[in-house]
A and B are shown apart, each in its own frame.
Chain A
Amino acid sequence: MRKEIIVCGLVMLSLVLASELIASQKQTLQIEGSTTVGPIADAFAEAFNSKYSNLDITVKKTGSGDGAAALVDGRCDIAIMSRFMKEKEYKKAVENGIFPVAHVVAMDGVCIVVHPSNPVAQLTTQQIRDIYQGKITNWKQVGGPDLEIVAISRDTSSGTYETFHGLVMKKEEMAAGVEYVNSNPQAHARVKTTVGAIGYVGIGFLDANVKALKVDGVMPSRQTIATGQYPVARPLFMFTNGYPKLGSMIYKFCTFYLSETGQEIIEAKGFIPVTNY
């Protein structure tokens, strides 16, 4: 019986090796990076799979930093990132002979959300900063009910945190009492279930269960984010090594956002297309 098992194993191994030789005729496209931009890459991949049958797309979502590192190491074709490359990453890339080119594929607004029962309708960035720094601890202080504020933030490694930290907190530190959660759905769920909560999520996560606040008098919407009136917005990037060869698959993928279908997809995924199509 033992012999049979060994023979089976050998046959399987040889099959695997043989398939390796036959395979890889197909074109591949490796995409790696941000969990925020990931859904766009997923959806583009869906559209591309039905368009080009001879193409295999893989998407890895581990974070913007990993995307940059993978591009620098030559491990991926396109790095998807929710922030621009840092100076260090850029330098390392150039040293490795890789010249990152940024393609802005969409805009994302970071919306400040509260529980829908909260009568407060707007805050200034100063007030939000004070809340996250622990200077304002009760909704009464900003014109709301007598209710303690539960401040919820994303984890410090996320691109959403970085945007919020840079644009609202002005790089100042948050108070110790702030609660950290790991993802947009989690932040949404936490605000939805907590009456006194305040948090921030991408605009795609807005629904009837949470209420978006006006920031500095501007309501987050497609219009205000695209025109830059809403203060907490950011572009989403795809980075390639040099500008991709015209007509290549990478080129088609990175410019797909310019097509009508591409923009429709971006809107369907809850982001804001860069142009008015």
Chain B
Amino acid sequence: MHLNTRQITDKAFTVLTGASVVLLTVVLLIVLGPITWRGAKAVIFKDTIEFRKMQFALYHRGNYEDLQSEIAEVHQFRDAAYLIIDEFKHGIDTDELIDESKQIYRQFGKELKYKGTSGAEYQQIRSLAREIRDKLQATFQSNDKQIIQENIDYILQYRTNGEFVDTAAAGFFTLGEDFLKSVENIDLDKRQEYAGALQKVEDIILHLLGPKPDDPVPALSMDRYGATRWDLAQKLLDQLLWSEKWVQKEADQPMIKVRTLRAEQFEGTKLEPLFGYVQSNLDRMMKPMPTFYWRYFIDDSTPGHYFGGVGPEILGTLLLTLLAMIFVIPLGIISAAYLVECASDNMAVRIIRMGINTLAGVPSIVFGLFGLAFFVLFLIPLFGGASKPCILAASLTLAVLTLPVMIRASEEAIRSVPQTYKEASLGLGASRFRTFMKVTLPAALPGILTGIILSLSRVAGETAPILFTGAVALGPLPKSLFDPTRTLSYGSYDIAVGDRLAMMVPHKQYGMVVTLVLLILCLNAVAIILRAKVFRRLRGN
């Protein structure tokens, strides 16, 4: 070949290989970068007082006194916000007021009976109270300020009546007065509109601050706390300040999103200052603080992974992986030794080889179904165990799945040990078994370890084989090998397909994936260090 062409092809080769390495790195960064970035948010983020409350309630972490004083501090600022809402609500939410007036009426009736008021007088006072109640209810439902004013004035004239002073009925008058005050700034025709808009504001406040201290505690822990993360709190603040609406600007075109200040909806009312107040006091209401939540890797989670960490998942993945390795390593090496050292080249061995090669190409879900049919439904009951998915069945399935990889890698490693080593050993009078154990195997160990690394990563990340044989979405920590377990791979699948929670806690989902990647990296690092050590010993250093 011409010298020039050779140089050009050489250069082209160098450039191409360099470029492919760069490409690989870029692809890796594009794939892993965003995942890692989002996953890291599960561990490193800015928490809020709600997060610390949750940690204390669920895991008993933090100092009780400190937490209480912090809660008292934020409540100073929160109470002001609640007050604004309550005042405004008084004029809007008439159902509540009507209920309250009914309550007062009932209470008053009981009091009268208790006092032993005589029949006729009782009837008379009670009918007067009923009249006041009905008038009050009519007032609440009225949209005319004139009528409201007249009605309240009418009611208030009974205030000094002897029958009502210092009784439950006094509540009627304060209720009426408060109502009069709260409707002062409200356009009553817009009451319906306000009620709808107020509901939205209250919803957002509930998500931001959590339930009020004197409200009943919700059944699920996910509803017990407000925004536990500062980024979530800011997102909610944005929702509170701005309302989004899709409007049709041009006919036959898609609608366009328009953001308007929510404060404008409540212009001139008592609620208007709320928005500015929350905006400027949000950090005082939430007390954000940067955290490094390392316990994410050991904590249990609440069902659905809304709070907490991935501790049981890590444990389950480790158990399954290591157990599968315990099964597959000896089996793989022995099979490889047979194929290299003992098997002659006949039909049976060729079929075995073909079987191994085919096994390597079988989709993993097939192994899962095989594991269900063979281990769970047949083998374990045969030995008297309960026929249910368990760690043992899952790890055996994983072992079968990765067996071909292990056999092929070990076979290559054993085959590449120089023939002269073996000849020397045999020449010294060692038996074939002794030669294999003392000479061939140590020399092949680095290659076998490579096989182990490959199968380890495969096993740790597999979902399909354990789907039916040993993984659960929710369950206690396994107490024996005959219990099912949670794993990282199945956990991330579960979050992705299950619940709308997945949309609310993306950091949890990515956190789990990143944990899985980290775990595999760690396991591989251990194997690689081990390989380097073996290699050094082999070279005699």
Residues of A bordering B, CB below 8 Å: 9, 16-17, 19-20, 23-24, 30, 35, 38-39, 41-43, 45-47, 56-62, 66, 73-75, 115-119, 140, 144-147, 182-186, 188, 195, 204-205, 207-208, 211, 261, 264-265, 268-270
Contact = CB atoms under 8 A, between A and B. Distances in A.
A75 B388 contact: yes
A188 B244 CA distance: 19
Contact of A42 (B326, B473, B476): B473
Contacts of B496: 183, 185-186
A197 to B, nearest CB: 12
Interface string B457-484: 0000000000110011111100111101
B475 A16 contact: no
Contact of A43 (B244, B304, B389): B304
B499 interface: yes
B256 A57 contact: no
Given A30-B388, A42-B473, A185-B497, 11 more contacts: A16-B480, A17-B480, A20-B482, A24-B479, A38-B473, A43-B303, A118-B254, A119-B254, A145-B253, A268-B218, A268-B222
B182 interface: no
B472 A60 contact: yes
Contacts of A57: 474-476
A62 B255 CA distance: 39
Contacts of B355: none
The 4 closest A-B pairs by CB, nearest first: A58-B475, A20-B480, A183-B497, A42-B303
Contacts of B480: 16-17, 19-20, 23
A117 B219 contact: no
B3 interface: no
A117 B257 contact: yes
B367 to A, nearest CB: 16
A46 B223 contact: no
Contact of A73 (B246, B387, B484, B502): B387
Contacts of A264: 218-219
A58 B387 contact: no
Contact of A268 (B220, B387, B479): B220
Interface of B: 218-223, 244, 246, 248, 252-257, 302-304, 326, 377, 387-389, 467-468, 471-476, 479-482, 484, 494, 496-503
Contact of B500 (A118, A208, A270): A270
B220 A265 contact: yes
B502 to A, nearest CB: 5
A46 B303 contact: yes
Contacts of A186: 496-497
Nearest to B251: A145
A154 B360 CA distance: 31
B377 A73 contact: yes
Contacts of B467: 62
A16 B473 contact: no
A229 B191 CA distance: 29
B475 A59 contact: yes
Contacts of A17: 480
